[in-house]
Structure 1
Amino acid sequence: MASTNRTSPHSESSPTPVPYSNYLHNSWLDFVGNLTLGIITAPYRRTFKLYTWKPLKDISAADGDRRTLVSLVRDWKASKYEELQSVQVASSFCAGATLAVLSWNTIPDAIWVARALWYCSLICSIWAVITSIQQKSILDELLDKDALSEAISEYDLNRTRRVILRYKKKPGIGHWIMIFVWQFPSMQMSYAWCTFLSGLTVYICTPLIRHQAWGDDTKIAIFYLAVGGVGLITFLFSSGFVYAAEKGSERSAQTSRVNADEAGIGASDVESKRSLASNDDKNGDDQTAPRQILRSRALLIDGSSRGSLEHQITSVRRKPTLLI
């Protein structure tokens, strides 16, 4: 008696579906991470994105493309030098302004928060200058502009990439620490100015905060808030316009890429149709050329015959007749 092997549908291995709670958990983690990153980098968001986040992301994605990687590293090194130079100038100016206001004694019994914010501004400015100098020394260890060409060896290119990204195959904790290090001078410079302005506001507005009697200090505080409010509103509006322009530029770049792809396909179709039409016209011209020659000859013959006939008629009309 032959035995039959029956396989139940449940015996086959099927992939276990991932619970929806895991997707929800990951989405919440991404949301919290992006929100935290946005809050921390809010004072210097565009600087962080242009000089640290986007270049390092492009360098990481260009692994294997030698020409693109060399170009990205060369451009990033030049732009990073410019960023660090701007950070040094702005931080030095902020440190000088902070040292100047620390000696103020015009408002008696000022709130201690003002001086605390000024000291924070001073230390942030100092660290911004120190870390920018340190990062310049790291950039000096990389190959110069002339050496960063397509003739660079594979070992030097990989070493340069590891110095910038701090990973070989897969990003780890060292990579994220290096991203934090690369953006640290700009972060300290931005925080220095934020704490300086915050301390200045608290110091000048001390009479309003403590509800002191109306006087010159109160008038100065109101005037300061009016002028500073206009500047703050303008800064917020300009930041919003910059953000909108940035998003518009990204959408425009995506649209242009899509249009370029479609235009490439359409151009090939149009070119093929145009070539077919030109071939048809050429064949038609080859076929109609003898006809046009014969037609022109016929017109000449007809014209000559018509001309002779008209000449005969006019000659008959002009012949003198006898008058009876």
Structure 2
Amino acid sequence: MKNSLKKRLYQVAIIILFIFLIFPFYRAKCEEADSKEEAVNSIQNIFENRNKAILNGDLKLIEGNYDKNTRYGTWAYEHEEKKMKYLKNWEEKQNVKFIQISPDIMIKRIRGKDNKYSVNLICSTEYSYIYENDPKLINKFRIGTSHILNIAKRSEGWIITKEWYKDPFADSLNLNNLKVDNVNQYIQSQNKRDFSNIGDRRKGAVEYADKYCGIASEKEYGYSYNRKYRNYNSQGGDCANFASQILHEGSKFRKTSSWNYDKTGATASWINAGGFKDYMIYSGRASLIAHGSYEKVYKASYKLLPGDFVAYEKKGDITHISVVTGADSKGYSLVSCHNTDRNRVPWDLGWSDKNIKFWLVHVNY
């Protein structure tokens, strides 16, 4: 009887110990988990507000999402303001209207406490737009971005105190230097193009690009690159590497001693944007359609076919390569690329600086 009583008293003591020592720790953990979940939900709301601001042209929708009392919070807000103005200018040049912008966010890591968190995430954003004179046909493209941001809870709610991401529109200043009326009148006069009769090798290029354009690809592909190849983003960029993969894996172009990739590395013409452009043209595997400023080449861009490519020149250097993967409802060429990941994006979007020149290149299949 005594032993039974002692056992019960021991059990009660354990319960009391749990209540006074362990339960507060457990409760704190639960509260921290709730706080993280709240922060994640707030990030989703902030990204959606950004897109609403673009669609409505209303900066007030995002002002409260940033800590404008700090330098980094102000910079993050000003960057979104600049992006919104650029997209508005591009809409006017193209005579289109964005009708929906949908973000798909994946949190890769979240760390912190006391309602202050550092977050790594990726965002695959689908943009939908229509041409003003043909609103029934909806065009879509996707852009993928990687973000590092700090978020904190204040009395007014969760706000961003710092953010960094490689913005696909960062190379764009404005479109005021263009004769917009002439450009959009020409674009509006064009018709949808039919690519159903292109060869299998060109189709293979498009299929490969769709599958492996990283964060800009469809969710079913895992937002990842082809793991057979190295990712060169940390070494200056992966755009030429991806273009080379598209032509080799998708279009079955054979490697050569000059244009090659293996386990030991890659040749310059495989991974360098300028080297890729020069090799393709001088080897005879491609030929130049047009070269120059946007106003000089935009009419020639309608000659581009899926599997061709565009090279982007800044201050005399080729800094980027995109591969043509389709055309929109007005026949305007669309491209896909790495860093920043783009999937079937209008070929000049994000490259509207007046000092940028374009190389439109036809690949000889």
TM-score with structure 2 setting the length? 0.20
Q: Which has the higher strand share?
A: 2
Structure label with greater radius of gyration: 1
Higher relative contact order structure (alpha carbons within 8 Å, sequence separation ≥ 6)? 1
Q: Which has the higher helix share?
A: 1
